Amino acid sequence: MPAPNNDPNQTKRIVLPSGKTIEVVYFESHVAAPRTAEDVASEAPAQVPAPAPAPAEETRELHVCTNCDSDLVYPVQWEEAGSDSWHILLRCPDCEWSESGVFPQSQCDRFDDELESGTEALSRDFKRLVTANMAEEIERFIHALDADAIQPMDF
């Protein structure tokens, strides 16, 4: 939604699926001089922009692979496809399946929640692994001290 401001430009905040926020500035457009019939006739036919692809079904969970049912699908690329939809390239690391599609904001919000919970789970597991490795190193160091196996040259 454009943010109100006093200058002629408009700013729009966009929250990406990763949680990062970016601001898009829309600059004031300048009004062109009226064109004559000769100007129009001398120009090449105008290109009509292609319509935005229709959003995919909203009930599908984007973190689940449609090929192998893995729940590890992640976004590779994404960009805004409209005021309330995103064009996302998805990839499954288990079967190498990928899909590109336009998905509504509500579906992307659910996907983002799944990605965040996966990130939290990875962080918890990483902390447990680091703690276990550190405890093992401390135990080895204690045994080395007890065996008088540590010399000044070790430091």
> What is the C-alpha separation between 56 and 110, in angstroms, rounded?
14
Reported pTM: 0.53
Sorted by where each begins, the domain ranges of the chain are: 54-147
pLDDT at 59: 78
* pLDDT above 50 for 144: yes
pLDDT at 73: 93
Q: How confident is the model at residue 151 (pLDDT cuts 50, 70, 90)?
A: confident
Extract the runs of DSSP E, i.e. beta strands, from 28-122: 74-82, 85-91, 98-104
> What is the C-alpha separation between 115 and 123, in angstroms, rounded?
12
How far, rounded to the nearest angstrom, does the alpha carbon of residue 139 sit from its chain's CA centroid? 42
* pLDDT above 60 for 39: no
Model confidence over 26-37: pLDDT tens digits? Answer: 665 544 445 554
Q: How confident is the model at residue 117 (pLDDT cuts 50, 70, 90)?
A: very high
Model confidence over 43-83: pLDDT tens digits? Answer: 544 454 555 555 455 678 999 998 999 999 999 999 998 88
CB 38 within 8 A of CB 52: no
Mean pLDDT of 78-103: 91
Q: How confident is the model at residue 116 (pLDDT cuts 50, 70, 90)?
A: very high
